[in-house]
Amino acid sequence: MNFGRYDRIIRFAGVGVINTGVYYGLYLLFGQVLHYQVAHITAFLIAMVGSYFLSCYFTFKVRPTWKKFLLFPLSNATSFTVQTLGLYLLVDIIGMNPDHAPLITMAVAIPITYVVARFVLTDRPAAAGPEVGPLAAAPQENKR
């Protein structure tokens, strides 16, 4: 399917849904035996590896490389910080159920992750809005 200038953003959202499901399932599973923050960190790291490959092949249509794999966590560093601090705030300060809190923190962090992931994986700065113009016409294969 081609959604025009929003195509990449829609693919990113699809990968995000998959990644969220993987993360949340692992979080709930690990949460049965680990402290909620340890479950969060472990699930986040595992889901991030899958997210890298989906982002390369499906969202940005670039070839995965070790360099990009090692830089990809930068795209999640802000997201991770927002989610980790958000979990602490929602669970320990506000008293929210730790099974529901990650859903809120992920929603806050998603836009930040897109901008940084696009920069890391495509070696291009992210535009402020939807892709328009020659960069949006066709995904460019990155040969590095």
Domain ranges of the chain: 4-124
* DSSP at 62: -
Q: What is the mean pLDDT of the chain?
A: 81
Q: Are 18 and 55 in contact (CB under 8 A)?
A: no
Q: Quick one: pLDDT at residue 125? A: 53
pTM of the full structure: 0.64
Number of helices (H), then strands (E), belonging to the chain: the values are 5, 0
Average pLDDT over residues 90-99: 94
Q: Is pLDDT above 70 for 94? A: yes
Q: What is the pLDDT of residues 23-51, one digit of tens each?
A: 999 999 999 999 999 999 999 899 999 99
Q: Quick one: pLDDT at residue 3? A: 62
